[in-house]
């Protein structure tokens, strides 16, 4: 069966979200940095919502240990995550413009690589990488909105995962406490909840709803 036309898919989203919001989503540009448990789920949520432009970035490859919480298929094992996720997103949202980079972000390349995004999503696994991206964006790209994740490990109650507005353009999602090295590690359901918070924060920013 042929896929629906762009007009048909846009109309279906517009019916759900309303004309004004869907127009804003279609015009938005979001960079998702890291395509693991957080980033793969965030990217899928944003693509399904009708965000018009997604820039997805990761330097890693799909490993069997990823399959418990990350949005990859067993047949994608060994593929670069950026390419595997691009394939999945193109199936889910064929009219979303997706740019995929298989590259490791650093203080040197972040300003140029992320310059095309209205909103930057930090979705790394490691604390030092998270801090590096957040600090680099806050110091060098003050006009960008930034949504970061911190604390989603283990099986603690889901309701302690929250979204907080730290500064005018910086939002932080998670419990702010749990760490992957402190106990059970990352469980799919709790990672998904935090990813949902980040994706929803992005959608609210696009909608012009800044008080989260």
pLDDT in tens, 28-66: 999 999 999 999 999 999 999 999 999 999 999 999 999
CB 176 within 8 A of CB 196: no
Residue 184 confidence class, pLDDT cut points 50, 70, 90? low
Question: Residue 183 — pLDDT band, cuts 50, 70, 90?
Answer: low
| pLDDT above 90: percentage of residues in the chain | 88
H-helix or E-strand spanning residue 161: none
Report d(CA 149, CA 201) in Å as an integer.
11
pLDDT of residue 150: 93
3 state DSSP class of 80? strand
Give residue 134's domain range.
29-207
Task: With respect to residue 145, please indicate whether it lies within any of the assigned structural domains.
Answer: yes
- Is the residue at 24 inside a domain? no
Q: CB neighbours of 164 closer than 8 A, spacing ≥ 6?
A: 171, 172, 173, 212
Q: Is position 15 within any domain?
A: no
Model pLDDT for residues 109-141, shown as the tens digit of each residue: 999 999 999 999 999 988 899 999 999 999 999
| Predicted TM-score of the model (pTM) | 0.95
Classify residue 118: in a domain, yes or no. Answer: yes
Q: What is the pLDDT of residue 181?
A: 59
Confirm whether 13 is domain-assigned. Answer: no
Q: CATH number of the domain that 72 lies in?
A: 3.40.50.720
DSSP letter for 187, please.
-
Q: In sequence order, what are the residues at sequence separation of 6 or more whose Cβ sits closer than 8 angstroms to the Cβ of residue 114? A: 31, 33, 55, 120, 137, 141, 144
When pLDDT is averaged across residues 24-30 and rounded to a whole number, the result is: 98
Q: What distance in Å separates the CA atoms of residue 204 and residue 69, rounded to the nearest whole number?
A: 25
In a domain, 7, yes or no: no
For residues 133 and 124, the answer to whether their CB atoms sit within 8 Å is: yes
Tell me how many domains the chain contains. 1
> How do residues 61-95 score in pLDDT, each as one tens digit?
999 999 999 999 999 999 999 999 999 999 999 99
Q: Answer yes or no: is 19 within a domain.
A: no
Please, what is the average pLDDT of the chain?
95
Structural domain contains residue 10: no
H helix runs in 73-166, sequence order: 81-92, 110-113, 127-140
């Amino acid at each position: 069966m042929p896929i629906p036309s762009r007009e048909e898919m846009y109309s279906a989203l517009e019916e759900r979200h309303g004309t004004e919001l869907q127009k804003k989503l279609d015009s938005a540009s979001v960079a998702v940095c890291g395509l693991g448990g957080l980033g793969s789920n965030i990217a899928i949520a944003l693509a399904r919502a009708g965000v018009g432009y997604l820039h997805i970035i990761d330097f890693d490859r799909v490993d069997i240990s990823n399959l418990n919480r990350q949005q990859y298929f067993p047949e994608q094992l060994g593929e670069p995550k950026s390419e595997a996720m691009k394939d999945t997103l193109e199936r889910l949202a064929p009219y979303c413009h997706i740019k995929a980079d298989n590259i490791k972000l650093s203080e040197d390349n972040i300003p140029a690589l992320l310059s095309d995004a209205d909103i930057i999503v930090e979705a790394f696994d490691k604390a030092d990488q998270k801090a590096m991206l957040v600090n680099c964006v806050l110091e060098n790209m003050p006009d960008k909105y930034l949504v970061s994740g911190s604390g989603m490990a283990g099986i603690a109650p889901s309701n302690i995962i929250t979204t907080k507005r730290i500064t005018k353009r910086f939002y932080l999602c998670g419990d702010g406490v749990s760490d992957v090295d402190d106990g059970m590690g990352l469980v799919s359901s709790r990672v998904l909840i935090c990813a949902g918070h980040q994706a929803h924060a992005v959608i609210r920013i696009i909608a012009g709803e800044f008080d989260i």
